[in-house]
Structure 1
Amino acid sequence: MRQVRAIAAVELRRFLRDRSNIFFVFIFPLILVLLIGSQFGGSGPGGRVVVVGEGSDLRTAIVEALEDDDVRVTSADADDALEQVARGRTDVALQIEPGDADAFAAGEDVTIDVVASSQAGAPATVQRVRTAVQAVTAEQGQLTALTAAGAEPTAARTALERASEALDGARLEVVDVDEVAQELSGVGQFDVGAASQVLLFVFLISLAGSTTLIQGRRYGVVGRTLAAPVSTLQVLGGQALGRFVIALFQGAYIMAATAVLFGVDWGNLGLSALVLAAFSAAAAGAAMLVGSLLDNENAAVGAGIGLGLVLAALGGGMLPLELFPDSLRGVSLVTPHAWAYEAFAQIQRHDGTLTDILPQVGVLLAMAVVLLGLGSWALRRSLARAM
């Protein structure tokens, strides 16, 4: 077993020594997670609003009402606010003019300029802004009417607060019947993208890294290893373990980095690690098979990237499986990506237990056994021809 671990450690060092992997292993996956989360993840529970205008009672009241409604509110000047809207960095720009603040103080109707972005959540945020403005202006109008009738401002405000507490507010319950919306409800902004990128890059980097196996045969590394007191079975085990460690390292790095940088919730870490390990074993088997059947590094890179991208596209590594039509959803089950995607979804979104993900993990392990068996057979055959 010591020989197997030594061979695997050599494979990992050779992989990390390749400087091109610095970008594709450590940086590029996080960039994609950020881009996917920014595009599809939404802007938070209540949206984003940037407020333009000097401090006033109207501005303070609107900001407090929006924040109570779970809207993220920031401040900026007019030009900066319009730029944020144009670039999609905020949903709505709200401009409060001095005349608006004066009308609010007098208890009159207020008209505020609102500029909405083209983001998907902008219409909902505009409605939240409209509701907040109507609420604060209505309250101010009531206060003005009471003080005009002779009530002291403090007593009038206290009376309005007591009346508001005594009345039961209107309750709105929204039931979404859309299955996709229900499935993705409550998912964090980067959660789906992070899981997809783990599947994409673990398999892609594993297949692309099969070139080290080809180089090992071509440059005589494997031959010199066999000249040592090491059996062919130990060489095969070391190569398989090396591919597995590379895949597991890639996936664990993405999971840890996204949890720290983007707050991705991976659910039960033990179960997520189990899914990653099973998927990494399948990726290792595929890498051994590609690296054993091909003798040219460039051909292996092209085949690995092409196959990795196709399988990721079919298995939910680029688009959530929930958006697939039923026919394509059935086809996706031939890929290990789809089974791992469903397992991660169970853990992240439904607090799945080991029993819940056991079918997916079982299929992944079966795929890993088949691929590792084929890869070992192909490598043994390749070594026998070389001798």
Structure 2
Amino acid sequence: MQRSLRITGIICVNQVRRVLTDRGTPIWLLALPLALIGVLGMSLQPLMSSDFAPSKPFHVVVAEIPGGNHVAVIEALRGMERFLEVASVADPESARELVRHRVADAALISSPGKPAAVTIVAAPGSVVAEVLESAIERILLEITVQRTEGVEIAHTQVDVTDGAGETPPWLRTDAFTYYAAGITAMFVMFAAHAVTVTVATDRATDAYARLRSLGVKPAVYMLGGSLAAVAVAILFVCTVALISALLFGVNWGALGPWTVLTVLGATAAAGLSLVVMALVPNPEHVDSAGSAIYNVLAFLGGSMSPLLVLPEWFRRSFAWLPNRALLDGYLKTSLGAAASEVSAEATTLLVASVALFALGWTVWSVRGRGEEA
């Protein structure tokens, strides 16, 4: 047992050293993510800042329907003159035609009767659609409780009360913080995979054969490589967090919850990388297969496009992804969340880590028995 632990430690330290001393590591795992944070942060800071306003107000038309709530909707939206220029039209078809011919940016069609409902006609995922979606949600709530007077809505940061839930963290952050968290959640997978690629490459060389001749079992070799992947991923996150805080003023929040998320996120990334290596039989294809998977996950998890511009169904459908949980958790901690407030994200990462390592270990064990046979 002690010999296996010692060998595992030696393999882990050796794999970490190989990645850290590789010439491409400073570029691929340091310069590139920091450059992305800087470029995307500067580009999207006006859109994601708390005092965001479009260069000119969006032109919104509201269809007049007998028995509808168009009057209350118009009155409420006119309080958003920095964002919206509101006008009324005679009927729903006219409103749709104005949007179709790009005379108006969006149209609102209220349905008569109860409960109150409003249809938004706009390009899916557009900024005006996001602004209106949040505003209409608040207005309909006010109509329902018969207090539409004095509704104040600013941008998409709407504090919907009366049980409507709290505002998501990605609506209350600046662009530098968002992309520092998003790029970190993306590249932590690449950091862990850098170790996995070296482990997979070794399996096709004499280095692994020599270890096997010394009695090193495949499971011990896998464990050492996985621990190295976790270690490199944690080192990556810590380095990017420190430099982004110094260069871009990113506030990562309290150390306690941030550490929990970082360790669990690195473990989940290492588990996913293990699954990729275990399922891809050719070591030469492990690198490209992992890169393709991680880029797709980064897009689905909100690391590439801000969540606020993505459709609601898209945000909800992929909220279970581990990299999305890590992004949400980091954004919460940046806003001052305590450990208990990121328990949902931590649980998602823990479950993902266990499931991924269990799958990877199972596949690896089957292949290991084949080697020992």
* TM-score, scaled relative to structure 2: 0.63
Q: Distance in 2 between matches of 1:266 and 1:209?
A: 26
* Equivalent residue in structure 1 for 2:254, among 260, 268, 275: 268
> Are 1:21 and 2:25 an aligned pair?
yes
- Larger mean Cα displacement after TM superposition, 38-47 or 359-368: 38-47
Aligned twin of 1:6:
10
Q: Distance in 1 between matches of 2:29 and 2:237?
A: 10
SS of the residue aligned with 2:203? Answer: helix
> Are 1:372 and 2:357 an aligned pair?
yes
Deviation at 1:201, TM superposition (A): 0.6
Runs of 5+ consecutive residues of structure 1 not aligned to the other structure: 48-119, 121-172
Aligned twin of 1:194:
180
Give the letter for the 1:363 counterpart. T
> Are 1:39 and 2:43 an aligned pair?
yes
Q: Distance in 1 between matches of 2:364 and 2:350?
A: 20
Deviations 1:122-177 (A, max 9, x none): xxxxxxxxxxxxxxxxxxxxxxxxxxxxxxxxxxxxxxxxxxxxxxxxxxx97526
Q: Distance in 2 between matches of 1:193 and 1:346?
A: 14
Give the letter for the 1:379 counterpart. W
- Identity of counterpart residues, as a percentage? 23
SS of the residue aligned with 2:304? Answer: coil
C-alpha spacing 1:358/1:325, structure 2 compared with 1 (3 Å)? same
Q: Distance in 1 between matches of 2:40 and 2:184?
A: 13
Aligned twin of 2:371:
386
Deviation at 1:25, TM superposition (A): 0.8
C-alpha spacing 1:270/1:225, structure 2 compared with 1 (3 Å)? farther
Deviation at 1:230, TM superposition (A): 4.6
Q: Distance in 2 between matches of 1:365 and 1:242?
A: 18
- 8 A contact 1:248–1:276 mirrored in 2: yes
Aligned twin of 1:356:
341
Q: Distance in 1 between matches of 2:50 and 2:154?
A: 16
Aligned twin of 1:52:
none
Deviation at 1:232, TM superposition (A): 4.7
Over the residues paired in the alignment, what is the CA RMSD in angstroms?
2.8
Q: Distance in 2 between matches of 1:360 and 1:46?
A: 29
Note the 1:318-337 alignment, pairs <5 A: 318-337=304-323
SS of the residue aligned with 2:302? Answer: coil
Runs of 5+ consecutive residues of structure 2 not aligned to the other structure: 53-126, 128-150, 160-166
Aligned twin of 2:235:
249
Deviations 1:195-216 (A, max 9, x none): 0010111113333543212212
Note the 1:205-284 alignment, pairs <5 A: 205-207=191-193, 209-228=195-214, 230-284=216-270
Give the letter for the 1:378 counterpart. V
Note the 1:168-207 alignment, pairs <5 A: 175-176=153-154, 178-179=156-157, 183=169, 187-207=173-193
> Are 1:30 and 2:34 an aligned pair?
yes
More helix as a share of residues:
1
Q: Rg larger in 1 or in 2? A: 1
C-alpha spacing 1:232/1:191, structure 2 compared with 1 (3 Å)? same
Aligned twin of 1:346:
332
Q: Distance in 2 between matches of 1:180 and 1:252?
A: 33
* TM-score, scaled relative to structure 1: 0.61
SS of the residue aligned with 2:46? Answer: coil
Q: Distance in 2 between matches of 1:209 and 1:5?
A: 15
Q: Distance in 1 between matches of 2:316 and 2:285?
A: 30
